[in-house]
Amino acid sequence: MKANVLDLPIELVDYIFRLLDTKSLLTLRSVSQITKELAESVFMNQTQKPLIEELFLNKKKLEADLTPSDTIFLFDLLTPLMCRLQSGSLALNPSTDEMFSLTSKFFDGKTVETVQFKLDHSD
């Protein structure tokens, strides 16, 4: 019989989930009830912030803690959803050409009180 990850003691599954990045935790929300609850609980325990609400609801500050390529990927795909976002400030890191290009799409027609650019002097 094929093994099921959920046959492992819950503390071991929890440990594995704690090694996952935010994107994988988001994906696990749509696998089953238990993976959804565990993924949300792991994120909440580590950040004291709800997983989805942190990204999508009305927060003073949106922090996307992702790698540059993930961030570009995220912004590109999030653009159609940005009409739902009301953010007090938005910090962009890294401030690459791609990032400027992508952010210009969702800034169009929206008001953001503060924008922070962290410049990378390595290039």
Token digits of residue 17: 């989930």
One character per residue 86-105, x = contact with other proteins (rule: CB under 8 A): --------------------
Cβ atoms of residues 70 and 100 within 8 Å: no
Q: Is 123 in the site for other proteins (CB under 8 A)?
A: no
Q: Is 63 in the site for other proteins (CB under 8 A)?
A: yes
Q: Is 72 in the site for other proteins (CB under 8 A)?
A: no
- DSSP per-residue codes, 10-64: HHHHHHHHHTS-HHHHHHHTTT-HHHHHHHHHHHHHHHSS-HHHHHHS-EEEE--
Q: Which is nearer to other proteins, 118 or 123 (CB)?
A: 118
Contacts to other proteins by CB under 8 A: 2-9, 12, 15-24, 26-33, 35-36, 43, 46-47, 52, 56, 63, 65, 74, 77-78, 81
